[in-house]
Amino acid sequence: MMNKPSVISLFCGAGGSSLGYSMSGYDELLGIDIDPTACETFHHNFPYTPVWNQDLTTVETDEVMEYTGLESGQLDLLDSSPPCQGFSICGTRDIKDQRNDLFLETVRFIEGLRPKVFLIENVTGLMKGKMRGKFNQILFQLKSTGYKVKYKSINTIYYNVPQSRQRLIFLGVREDLQSEPVFPQPNSQVKRLKDVLPQVDFH
């Protein structure tokens, strides 16, 4: 029997991404988030997956590898959803928001864990207007880690999710692997909310 591919989630929240990985057959080794309520919810959603309620800036990659039993380069996938409040068009878009720099913590974990693949999710506001300089800095940092990196703005409504939700995705594959970052093809047909909740009266 083949081992399941492994994933670690940074800024894991309540486990939205983790649900997708679980449905895809991944073995989640650890989730980390600073919000205690999010971690409590994550624990209820995934009772067999350890979750650390910690500030990621205080977590060392060696500590994670010792806990999970991984060696550098063994992790299949590192997932990260850094805070988006500073970038979002729904917020103040403060370029000095300290949370904007938490992207660099993901870079630190990529360099320390050397996963085969990383996936980072954020808002498309990161690519727009005065945030474009920050976007370029992040992209440069990601490419300097020794990964082939691509990014794409996608709408989840074209990927079997009954919700119009535009997101920016960074996808990186370690350069020693004979593979390129590839995004799935969008669907032409979309699911509507009433398709998955037929019992609700949507008048």
Q: Active-site residue numbers? A: 84
List helix spans (H) across the chain: 16-23, 36-45, 61-68, 103-113, 132-143, 193-196
Distance CA 203, CA 200 (A): 9
- Among 138, 145, 146, CA closest to 170: 138
Amino acid identity, residue 132? R
Residues 6+ apart with CB under 8 A from 55: 34
Say how far apart CA 57 and CA 149 lie, in whole Å.
24
Closest listed residue to residue 170, CA positions, set 195, 145, 189, 194: 145
- Tell me the three-class secondary structure of 106-140, residue by residue: HHHHHHHHCCCEEEEEECHHHHCHHHHHHHHHHHH
